[in-house]
Chain A
Amino acid sequence: MTVTYTSEHFKREARLALDQPNLQRALDRTTTLLQARRAEAYRAFGEFDAARAAGSRIKDHVLRHLDHYLETFEANAEAAGCKVHWARDADEACRITTELCRRAEAKTVTRVKSMLGEEIGLPEALDAAGFERVETDLAEHINQLAGDRPSHIVIPALHKTREEVSDLFERAHPPHRHIDDVAELVESARTTLREKYFAAEVGISGANFLVADNGAVCTVTNEGNAELTMQLPRVQIVTAGIEKLVPSMDHAGVLLRLLARSALGMELTQYTTFLTGAKRPGDRDGPEEMHLVLVDAGRTELLGDELAPILKCIRCAACINHCPVYGQIGGHAYGGVYQGPMGSVLTPAMASLAKSKDLPHACTLNGRCDEVCPVAIPLTGLMRTLRERTWRQHLVDRPTRLGLGLWGAVVRRPALYRPASRLGVRALRLLARGRPALRRLPGGGAWTRSRDFAAPPPGGTFMARYRRGER
């Protein structure tokens, strides 16, 4: 099922987000905490930079030899008792998954949130096919109750304050009492969700890594919901993007050390599970059938593109947590499934640049994302590449284009630029009327609505004064 996400209203959505006190409070609390925790984990690790270089090399290597690792993975996963399905796009992936649920005669489907699932619109597809979909991730449970979309790839309900969650749970969870304490709120969700794990006929999860040389699927969570979802139902379905491959368990180990530290500042997540195949004769538990749906959805095409490094992304959200723009507007304004710097590259790269043209521009190019990315993706460089495409494809709005065109014509010619800048300075001086700063600037409202603009001092431009012999 194709869900139409759109970033076309980025500017409006961003402005709305800035005016939501609850969202602002939630963003302040969480991003500050996550930055501090990541910094501490980075410091305590001691080998972070070496691990980062290794992690980056592993991802580069896999992307160069993706065909080889996909075939190896398929053979080993099938040998371990999995059935591998290939999906070219989102529609095909959803069709295969819902069909597998139907064949399992499922009524209830438990699900662990995965970004790939969100990307292909799997929740909506399951709902449309009539299954009772139970989101088992605490944050996704909150979003499901609130009818909200995830606003962060790792902390999907980051936009909600504890107070809002209290109200939601009071309405949705029997016996409908008001709870303020976080531990009690979690217990309330646990009690509600627990019976669903046993009722579900199918469990659906994603994968953090697919291990080629033994066919294992690796998931990480802090809640244990992946383990319950993957092992209690009779049928298990894993949906994963084809870029999730790693050659071996050792390689997964390197990336796991980076992932947990980068995401939440932890040495390891509470649960790290490698699942290899369905229940074998003699096994006490595990699913009777295990299906792997491997999804392309634009990835192969991206491999040959300048933007290919974004396929290295391990979805840790460090770039998002450190992005000053995300820190102000939160995730929903980005419109897509992904947010912040990685989303501002991935959404235009995978979907349509025309419909998400704001995303690569809504960035100060401060480079903090490049610095914290655990697999060294040059995020601001990729955003610059996308900006260049918006320029070439005439997606930059007309006034900006004309303005820059005019400026370019002058700035290319020093002999023209000198008098033009002298004139500009004189105009600013006149408008300032002797005051040291301008409070309003005709045509410059975007600056002066919220900021003063320092007036140039008397005497003219530097170049004019320098030519007059001033030193």
Chain B
Amino acid sequence: MSQNGGGRDVGLFVTCLADAVRPSVGFAALRLLEAAGYRVQVPDAQTCCGQPAYNSGDDATTRDLMAGIVRAFEPFDYVVAPSGSCMGMIKKGGHLFDDDPELASRHAALAARSYELLGFLHDVAGWRPQGRRYDGRVAYHHSCSGLRELGVKAQAERLVTDLAGVDFAPLDHPEICCGFGGTFCVKYPEISTSIVDDKVRDVVATGADTLVGGDLGCLLNIQGRLGRLGHDVKVYHTAELLAGSEVAPLGRDAPS
């Protein structure tokens, strides 16, 4: 394994949400990376990127988690996560090591070769889903961290629209937050619900039968509200669609 990037060894950061509630996202990411020609390993020492602590202001916990990530993923050429917000956290965590120049530089080196899955597939691997298909009218929800922290937008849409059979249904307001916000959605549930209601209206108005996105947090939130209001929209992580995962949509039974 090479220490300085450019090799083919990827450490997959599964994310705690995918690990627990949507393992198919982890397997889809794994298969896509392998299809793109990388050797993928899933380090055992990973748990969470630390956002719940970081966004609550608990820097001590976040720092411990970030140090663990640096140690666990240092041996790889690349770190890839199927989430914009977790990857955003990993990339911006450097300031936590202001008091430890050695760890700070190790973190900086790791952050420089860390990527969100879809951006990695498109920009670094140059992978395209040739010969794959999904039949449906598909709307795309961009997570705010993917969009604004990492600049992953056109790449993700391109990958989806490259699938044969996709009828792309653009949202009216693709830049607006879905109201998830991590702990925000349970600290201020009424405000969060009111925001996700706007998103649900936007999704439903497109006439899409499928909604995809690169962040499970947003998807759980939007699907949770879609489901509660009885809307018949299938929600998948983008990786599942690209990998052709044979799984039931999020929060729904598999079609019989």
Question: In the complex, what's the smallest C-beta–C-beta distance from A114 to chain B, in angstroms?
Answer: 30
B144–A436 touching, CB < 8 Å:
no
- Chain B 189-226 interface residues, beta-carbon cutoff 8 Å to A: 189-196, 198, 220-221, 223-225
A462–B23 touching, CB < 8 Å:
yes
B224 in complex: contacting residue of A371, A388, A428, A451, CB < 8 Å: A451
**Alpha-carbon distance A412/B18, docked complex (angstroms):** 18
B182: which A residues are within 8 A, CB to CB? Answer: 364-365
A390 in complex: contacting residue of B52, B57, B191, CB < 8 Å: B57
A18–B144 touching, CB < 8 Å:
no
A324 in complex: contacting residue of B16, B57, B177, B253, CB < 8 Å: B177
A362–B251 touching, CB < 8 Å:
no
A324-B177, A456-B21 given as contacts; is B224 within 8 A of A447 (CB)? yes
A452–B148 touching, CB < 8 Å:
no
B24–A457 touching, CB < 8 Å:
yes
A329-B191, A462-B27 given as contacts; is B20 within 8 A of A424 (CB)? yes
B252: which A residues are within 8 A, CB to CB? Answer: 436-437
Confirm or deny: B227 has a beta carbon within 8 angstroms of a beta carbon on chain A.
Answer: yes
- Chain A 341-388 interface residues, beta-carbon cutoff 8 Å to B: 361-368, 370-371, 384, 386-388
B189–A446 touching, CB < 8 Å:
yes
Question: In the complex, what's the smallest C-beta–C-beta distance from B193 to chain A, in angstroms?
Answer: 4
In the complex, the number of residue pairs spanning A and B with C-beta atoms less than 8 Å apart equals: 202
Q: Give the bracket for the number of chain B residues in contact with chain A.
A: 35 or more
**Alpha-carbon distance A60/B25, docked complex (angstroms):** 44
**Alpha-carbon distance A446/B179, docked complex (angstroms):** 13
Confirm or deny: A455 has a beta carbon within 8 angstroms of a beta carbon on chain B.
Answer: yes
A421–B220 touching, CB < 8 Å:
no
Question: In the complex, what's the smallest C-beta–C-beta distance from B78 to chain A, in angstroms?
Answer: 18
**Alpha-carbon distance A301/B191, docked complex (angstroms):** 34
B58–A408 touching, CB < 8 Å:
yes
Confirm or deny: B70 has a beta carbon within 8 angstroms of a beta carbon on chain A.
Answer: no
Closest partner residue, chain A, to B67 (CB atom): A412
A466–B26 touching, CB < 8 Å:
yes
**Alpha-carbon distance A178/B180, docked complex (angstroms):** 44
B183: which A residues are within 8 A, CB to CB? Answer: 400
B21–A454 touching, CB < 8 Å:
yes
- Chain B 37-62 interface residues, beta-carbon cutoff 8 Å to A: 42, 44-48, 52-59, 61
A424: which B residues are within 8 A, CB to CB? Answer: 20
A450–B14 touching, CB < 8 Å:
no
Interface string of A430-471 (1 = CB under 8 A from B): 000000110100001011011111111101111101100011
A446-B186, A466-B26, A471-B30 given as contacts; is B193 within 8 A of A364 (CB)? no
B253–A436 touching, CB < 8 Å:
yes
B24–A461 touching, CB < 8 Å:
no
B27: which A residues are within 8 A, CB to CB? Answer: 462, 465-466, 470-471
A471 in complex: contacting residue of B31, B46, B179, CB < 8 Å: B31
Closest partner residue, chain A, to B148 (CB atom): A367
Q: Is the interface of A mostly helix, strand, loop or mixed?
A: helix
A18–B194 touching, CB < 8 Å:
yes
Question: In the complex, what's the smallest C-beta–C-beta distance from B90 to chain A, in angstroms?
Answer: 15
A391-B56, A450-B228 given as contacts; is B194 within 8 A of A462 (CB)? no
Tell which of B20, B221, B250 has the most Cβ of chain A within 10 Å: B20
Confirm or deny: A303 has a beta carbon within 8 angstroms of a beta carbon on chain B.
Answer: no
Please report the total number of A residues contacting B with Cβ < 8 Å.
64
A198: which B residues are within 8 A, CB to CB? Answer: none
A11: which B residues are within 8 A, CB to CB? Answer: 188
Confirm or deny: A392 has a beta carbon within 8 angstroms of a beta carbon on chain B.
Answer: yes
B248–A457 touching, CB < 8 Å:
yes
- Chain B 76-106 interface residues, beta-carbon cutoff 8 Å to A: none
**Alpha-carbon distance A364/B194, docked complex (angstroms):** 13
**Alpha-carbon distance A338/B252, docked complex (angstroms):** 43
B184–A412 touching, CB < 8 Å:
no
Confirm or deny: A414 has a beta carbon within 8 angstroms of a beta carbon on chain B.
Answer: yes
Question: In the complex, what's the smallest C-beta–C-beta distance from A470 to chain B, in angstroms?
Answer: 7
**Alpha-carbon distance A14/B252, docked complex (angstroms):** 33
A361 in complex: contacting residue of B21, B31, B187, CB < 8 Å: B187
A452–B190 touching, CB < 8 Å:
no
B64: which A residues are within 8 A, CB to CB? Answer: 408, 412
A457: which B residues are within 8 A, CB to CB? Answer: 22-24, 247-248
A324-B177, A463-B19 given as contacts; is B52 within 8 A of A384 (CB)? no
Sampled A-B contacts (26; CB under 8 Å): A325-B195, A327-B195, A361-B188, A362-B188, A364-B144, A366-B176, A367-B149, A368-B177, A371-B148, A388-B59, A390-B57, A396-B57, A407-B52, A412-B64, A414-B45, A421-B19, A436-B251, A446-B187, A450-B225, A451-B221, A451-B224, A452-B223, A459-B23, A461-B23, A462-B18, A463-B19
Interface contacts beyond A14-B188, A325-B191, A400-B56: sample of 18 additional A-B pairs, CB < 8 Å, sorted by A:
A18-B194, A325-B195, A366-B148, A371-B148, A384-B55, A384-B57, A387-B57, A408-B53, A414-B68, A447-B189, A449-B189, A451-B224, A453-B224, A454-B224, A457-B248, A462-B27, A463-B44, A466-B26
